[in-house]
Amino acid sequence: MEITQALHRAAQQTPDLPATIVGERVRTWTECRDRVARLAAALQELGVGAGDRVAMLSLNSDRFHEYLFAVPWAGGVVTPVNIRWSPAEIAFSLEDAGAAVLVVDDAFVPAVPAILEAAPVVRTVVYAGDGAVPDGMVGFEELVAGHEPVDDARRGGAEPYGIYYTGGTTGTPKGVVLSHANLLSSALGSTAAGSFMTPGGRYLHAAPMFHLADGAAWGARNVVGGTHVIVPMFTPAGVAAAIAEHEVTDVLLVPTMIQMLVDAPEAADADLTSLRHLLYGASPISEAVLERAAKRLPAAEFTQAYGMTELSPVATLLQPADHAVDHLRRSAGRAAPHAEVKIVDEEDREVPYGTVGEIVSRGPHVMLGYWNRPEETATALRGGWMHTGDGGRMDEQGYVYVVDRIKDMIVSGGENVYSVEVENALAKHPDVASCAVIGVPDDEWGERVHAVVVPAAGATPSADELREHVKGLIAGYKAPRSVEFRDALPISGAGKILKRDLRAEHWSGSDRAVS
């Protein structure tokens, strides 16, 4: 079982169907397979052999899609690089992964000299842009045109497919080694219920392709069959226009993107009625944003996925029908068909239903391990279960409620406060566009609940007003004792709010150690 199977199948069953659409550029599955087999030959000539890492630093593109197939076709291992990292962080990951070949697009050509200086491991830079090939690089298109197709190396099963770096939301990103079987189990399990991808439909890559949230949707689209519509990066107007123009049927968006898409005036007029499935996840979503999204996208069914890079990445799914049940909308759903999920205490004992503990998961989707980090791998996978670091509880029907990252929980005056619960309450105020709640040092309370709020356009809410609003919804001790207003929140490359950056401003420049 290998990732490239889907490409062989698509070329056999839907040879003339577009595999990729980027603006005016359309390539069929037959062309895609041919280009992949030629690129794989070129990669082998560049020295890529069994298990060798090939990195890609690029905005979303059809060449990214071809890279994701060509590297395993050549026998190698994909290593997508986070496009929001600094050159030093990029160099760290290239050295960490030991990637001798790096593929870049136009957006990253200017950064290449600094990257090469800091990452001597890189021997070849492949230019996957649309202009003339820069000096010292080899052209992606030239490689494709200049090589005859080779046979698929057919490495699959438990062999590594890729090294995917975690989001870096809580600390330095870790390289997660995922096998072909890991990713395929998650893709097959996630699509088994039929609520995730429209068969033969069009999936829009609006989230960054380097991140496994989109990577998993890429895999799911391939196993179901259909077309990849690709925009270089998320912008509300660009995504709305692509959905309307290319009759996109499915999209994965993280909550910050959903909020921008439904609130942006420049995306307000686009016809989004082709959309059948919206998959969301990767971070908590406020009910207020979910409601606005349901109004804006009346033809779409909503599915929520919860998981993490280490789980390939899907562990639970909240199905469209579950969204109709009021209390379930706060849940992240139930174990996906491929996964087992339970809640444990600090001694790894399963806790009773309704009790908060750590969410753990077991099954064919659990990573092979962290790259070059045997101790962290052993800790995370102790007892054969992946320990997520997320706090959650489960009801008697198996619905999981993610309460907070354990590292984001606030202990104020001896009471546990889940930052997500406070954010949810705040977000229900009409003057709040987005917000983050963190614990900051407090002499009296140990930690104090502090809110950072981005007001809605034109609104000027007061701290007192917001505090009273929260107290009307949840227990008073959870209401923010202090509120600060900003124009924007720090966001990671994967679109998540970086609370550790907000915290660092209050905790003497270093993130606090709370476990």
* Contact status: 178 vs ligand ATP (CB under 6 A): no
Contacts of 177 (CB under 8 A, 6+ apart): 160, 162, 163, 367, 368, 369, 370, 371
Distance separating alpha carbons of residues 473 and 450, to the nearest angstrom:
17
In terms of CB distance, is 166 or 492 closer to Mg ion? 166
Least distance in angstroms from the C-beta of 347 to Mg ion = 22
> At 57, which helix (H) or strand (E)?
strand 53-57
Judged by CB under 6 A, the residue of 405, 450, 469, 503 near ligand ATP is 405
Binders of ligand ATP among residues 468 to 507 (CB under 6 A) are 494, 496
Decide: residue 370, CB within 10 A, 0-12 exposed, 13-18 middle, 19+ buried. Answer: buried
Judged by CB under 6 A, the residue of 5, 30, 124, 170 near ligand ATP is 170
In terms of CB distance, is 166 or 195 closer to Mg ion? 166
What does each C-alpha distance from 476 to 187, 466, 480 come to in angstroms? 43, 12, 9
Question: 284 contacts which partner out of ligand ATP, Mg ion, none, CB within 5 to 8 A by kind?
Answer: ligand ATP
In terms of CB distance, is 41 or 293 closer to ligand ATP? 293
Least distance in angstroms from the C-beta of 504 to Mg ion = 18
Question: 225 contacts which partner out of Mg ion, ligand ATP, none, CB within 5 to 8 A by kind?
Answer: none
Judged by CB under 6 A, the residue of 80, 173, 236, 495 near ligand ATP is 173
Binders of ligand ATP among residues 255 to 284 (CB under 6 A) are 281-284
Judged by CB under 6 A, the residue of 119, 279, 402, 422 near ligand ATP is 402
In terms of CB distance, is 52 or 408 closer to Mg ion? 408
Distance separating alpha carbons of residues 90 and 281, to the nearest angstrom:
25
In terms of CB distance, is 28 or 169 closer to Mg ion? 169
* Contact status: 320 vs ligand ATP (CB under 6 A): no
* Contact status: 322 vs ligand ATP (CB under 6 A): no
List the one residue out of 510, 399, 492, 449 whose CA is nearest residue 165.
492
Using the rule CB under 6 A, give the single segment among 108-116, 164-172, 186-194, 268-276 that binds ligand ATP.
Answer: 164-172
Question: 187 contacts which partner out of ligand ATP, Mg ion, none, CB within 5 to 8 A by kind?
Answer: none
Judged by CB under 6 A, the residue of 58, 259, 304, 412 near ligand ATP is 304
Decide: residue 131, CB within 10 A, 0-12 exposed, 13-18 middle, 19+ buried. Answer: exposed
Beta strands in 158-300 (DSSP E): 160-165, 175-179, 202-205, 227-230, 250-253, 277-281
Integer-rounded Cα Rg, in Å, for the chain is 23
Beta strand 446-455 with 432-442: parallel, antiparallel or unpaired? antiparallel
Least distance in angstroms from the C-beta of 315 to ligand ATP = 8
Q: One symbol per residue from 331 to 350: x for binding ligand ATP (CB under 6 A), - otherwise; what is it?
A: -x------------------
Question: 218 contacts which partner out of ligand ATP, Mg ion, none, CB within 5 to 8 A by kind?
Answer: none
- The answer to whether 309 and 214 are in contact (CB under 8 A) is no
Question: 282 contacts which partner out of ligand ATP, Mg ion, none, CB within 5 to 8 A by kind?
Answer: ligand ATP
Using the rule CB under 6 A, give the single segment among 85-93, 304-312, 349-357, 374-382 that binds ligand ATP.
Answer: 304-312
In terms of CB distance, is 173 or 201 closer to ligand ATP? 173
In terms of CB distance, is 113 or 171 closer to ligand ATP? 171
Binders of Mg ion among residues 145 to 174 (CB under 5 A) are 166
- Long-range Cβ pairs for the range 43-46 (8 Å, 24+): 43/70, 43/71, 43/74, 43/76, 43/101, 43/143, 44/74, 44/75, 44/150, 45/147, 46/101, 46/124, 46/126, 46/138
Question: 274 contacts which partner out of Mg ion, ligand ATP, none, CB within 5 to 8 A by kind?
Answer: none
The count of chain residues that interact with ligand ATP, using the rule CB under 6 A, is 24
Distance separating alpha carbons of residues 337 and 455, to the nearest angstrom:
40
In terms of CB distance, is 155 or 205 closer to ligand ATP? 205
In terms of CB distance, is 166 or 419 closer to Mg ion? 166
Least distance in angstroms from the C-beta of 199 to ligand ATP = 24
List the one residue out of 121, 103, 110 whose CA is nearest residue 87.
110
Question: 251 contacts which partner out of ligand ATP, Mg ion, none, CB within 5 to 8 A by kind?
Answer: none
Distance separating alpha carbons of residues 500 and 506, to the nearest angstrom:
10
Q: Which two three-digit tokens encode residue 8?
A: 């062989």
- The answer to whether 469 and 429 are in contact (CB under 8 A) is yes
Q: One symbol per residue from 344 to 383: x for binding ligand ATP (CB under 6 A), - otherwise; what is it?
A: ----------------------------------------
Residue with the shortest CB distance to ligand ATP:
167
Question: Which residue matches tokens 């609520």?
Answer: 195
Distance separating alpha carbons of residues 427 and 174, to the nearest angstrom:
31
* Contact status: 387 vs ligand ATP (CB under 6 A): no
Question: Which residue matches tokens 């566009």?
Answer: 433
Contacts of 384 (CB under 8 A, 6+ apart): 362
Using the rule CB under 6 A, give the single segment among 19-27, 163-171, 239-247, 421-429 that binds ligand ATP.
Answer: 163-171
Distance separating alpha carbons of residues 358 and 392, to the nearest angstrom:
6
Distance separating alpha carbons of residues 30 and 41, to the nearest angstrom:
17
In terms of CB distance, is 277 or 496 closer to Mg ion? 496
Q: Which two three-digit tokens encode residue 395?
A: 């009801």
Task: Report the interface residues with ligand ATP, using CB under 6 A.
Answer: 166-171, 173, 281-284, 304, 306-309, 332, 388-390, 402, 405, 494, 496
